[in-house]
Structure 1
Amino acid sequence: MPEGHSVHRIARQFGRHFVGRHVSASSPQGRFADGAAILDGRTMSDARAVGKQMFLEFDDAVWLRVHLGIYGAWDFAGDVRGDPTTRAANGRMGQTGMRGASDDDAAAAPTTVVGAHEESLASIGAPRRTRLRMAEQETESAVDDLALEGFPPDPIGAVRVRLLTDSAVADLRGPTACEVLDAAGVQQVIDRLGPDPLIDDAEAGEDRMLARIRRRRVPIGLLLMDQSVVSGIGNVYRAEILFRARLDPHALGADLPEEVIRGLWRDWRYLLGVGVDTGQMLTMDGLDEEARRLALRNRADRHWVYKREGLPCRLCGTHIVMELAAARKLYHCPSCQV
């Protein structure tokens, strides 16, 4: 399931290529025909992400809410381009923005990052016709013969919603939620969500997360995945944030010291910013040059505990444990996280 950084990056694509433009909406699959008819012919005026939810605003305060869930993805095609806020290395997006990173680090970075669910989006420079899939995994490929095929390209597969401008198209497949809302309905959804570090005021969001954790006698490993407590954290970030804090995932939220909870918020705020800017969930920082290069090349060298069950902890050598918590895989070090 896409974590918060992916949804914020998708919102950026809509902000770059759709906001301010007249949009034709349709439902090639047919399951969203009524909703598409409401959106059709309107101008998109805003695109925002809150945690794992995305909201697209159109004329007259009409909104499209999308939650991708496990299987959802947006496919963009046409004159689309990569995120200009992400520094490019040799024409491709590399990991930068980590503590201590510099422009020289970016220039020396590998040209791509390989890893399921984390493959970086190619930076393609000037806009050109291309296909770009954005879910938890971002992949881009130029379509050299698109001009011969015509624009827009035919829908591929079961497209729930197609949003089309004169130069770009976005196709939505397999979402968990897809609905048209008014402003009040959008606010009701947002009110049920915990704070998002990229949306909420930093101090106010920190206080909200603190209050919601301290009143729950629930393991912190479950609370961090509860979107009503804090927005955007998924399985990868949950495991890594807890390890970075050396925190037992079974510790009850109500028992945690205030400074520990505030530290979790601040680390999530930092990691989310890095993820949005780079498209990668590199959760290890303070790396030397060689370790950084390894981490950029392969997810196996990018995380402290995620997907490392049975392997020795990078710090103490104890084997990393994987267990099921609320039907989700939870990774942790039984020695470091006590």
Structure 2
Amino acid sequence: MIVLGLETSCDETAAALVAAEDGGRPHVLAERVYSQIAEHAPYAGVVPEIAARAHVAHLDRLVAEVMAEAGLDYGDVDAVAATAGPGLIGGLLVGLTTAKAIALAAERPLVAVNHLEAHALSPRLEAELDFPYLLLLVSGGHCQLLTVHDVGRFTRLGSTIDDAVGEAFDKVAKMLGLGYPGGPAVERAAAAGDPGAIPLPRPLKGRAGCDFSFSGLKNAVRLAVAAAEPPLPVADICASFQAAVTEVMVDRVGHAMSLHEERTAGRGRALVVAGGVAANQALRQALASLAAGRDWRLVVPPLRLCTDNGVMVALAGIERLRRGLTDPLDVAPRPRWPLDPGAAPLPFAGVKA
């Protein structure tokens, strides 16, 4: 089985070919990612119209490059998978329309992939990982904890009630003039700072449940920046912010571990961390200590699979194809697409599910 995967949900344009024998471990035949950082850096954030235009400009080239590297024609591909949501509607339209065109011309099935499910399944490319497992999904647009029962079967245990953690990193970087993308910039600056220098809140730490909140923490950083005497202690602010985020994450994940164990009768004691913020080394180390202390296994995808990529989309396509799941050519993109549709509504309508 060979699947072409396309990813255009935000500010990375990506294509990949992933192959798998029946019941065997998938492997990557070719992959390409075009990062739009240069296009969005002047605005210190993603501009949807610019992102969509960049996808149009680069996606066809990336597809041609992975096909050439693998030495394949479209007739050699068993299916075409594309991110159909959630994400920026302009970008989703570019990738999904391209996938539909290839699938129609090559007479191959189409798989419309949930971007969040692609992240959730991405560790299964290189790790032996059975269902169920606990997922911490952390990125610029998403922050939630879910039990992954199987492909297409998720139970949401907790989510942010306001802002995603990656968005908080980006906003703090913007306050401090560190540029875009903010997450890596804050992490680099924090390495030289004192994590105890600036008193910052730990929102929801110690509270019942598994939800997150970061808007108050962002505001506390804003107030600290406004009150600071020049020169601005950038490294200390970054280190203090990162420490606050990490403590909150460990607390919330710890609660989710207990809930996951209760609901799965102790099965699946694996914690998967996926999404762009999973690249943060301070968070990884803290979660590794948490997992070890509770006799859990921590699984984090390789760094290249933490951010958006075509490999995870192709892998999700393979997982769905193995279960006989395909989609019609008139399937529509979905800017909102929760993994657990039956979960209670989030407190604020603007929060991404």
Q: Is TM > 0.5 for Structure 1 vs Structure 2?
A: no
Higher relative contact order (CA 8 A, sep 6+): 2
TM-score (norm 2): 0.29
TM-score (norm 1): 0.30
Indicate the structure with greater helix content.
Answer: 2
